[in-house]
Amino acid sequence: MARKYNWKTGCDVEATLSVIGGRWKPVLVCHLLGGRKRFGELRRLTPNATERMITLQLRELEADEVISRHVYAEVPPRVEYDVTEFGRSLEPILELMQSWGAGFKERKLAEEAATQ
């Protein structure tokens, strides 16, 4: 994928975000960390994402070698996605994001309950 990022002088955080940035990429990788999944299963696991967006995000993750796509010569064709060994190196980052998000949700829910 063509990216507007200067690999020589860009910030390291920017490099990370160029790979996992976006609303659905981290979510898809989290789901795939649990094991190989078919497209339909990923679509069900991310009901707020459109099919087109899931497809685009999966293609970008595949281009960056974070996930791999396995196509089986069957009728109907079967396609499965899995996290690569390189993609597994994102697991600690995603776990921290998940933990932070849980705390943030808890805080917002407590604030909401206090105002009612």
Q: Per residue in 20-53, pLDDT tens?
A: 988 999 999 999 999 999 999 999 999 999 999 9
Cα separation, 91 vs 97, whole angstroms: 10
Quick one: pLDDT at residue 1?
A: 44
Strand, coil or helix: 52 = helix
Is there a contact between 45 and 32 (Cβ–Cβ < 8 Å)?
Answer: no
Does the pLDDT at position 96 exceed 60?
yes
pTM for the predicted model, two decimal places = 0.86
Residue 110 inside a domain? The answer is yes
Quick one: pLDDT at residue 116?
A: 81
Q: Name the token pair of 35.
A: 């094991």
Does the pLDDT at position 82 exceed 90?
yes
Quick one: pLDDT at residue 51?
A: 95
In terms of residues, how long is the chain? 116
Is there a contact between 28 and 58 (Cβ–Cβ < 8 Å)?
Answer: yes
Residue 17 inside a domain? The answer is yes
Residue 1 inside a domain? The answer is no
Residue 47 inside a domain? The answer is yes
Residue 4 inside a domain? The answer is no
Residue 6 inside a domain? The answer is no
Task: Count the domains in the chain.
Answer: 1
Strand, coil or helix: 77 = coil
Print the domain residue range for 41.
12-115
Which burial class, exposed, middle or buried, applies to 72 when counting CB atoms under 10 A from its CB (0-12, 13-18, 19+)? exposed
Quick one: pLDDT at residue 5?
A: 61
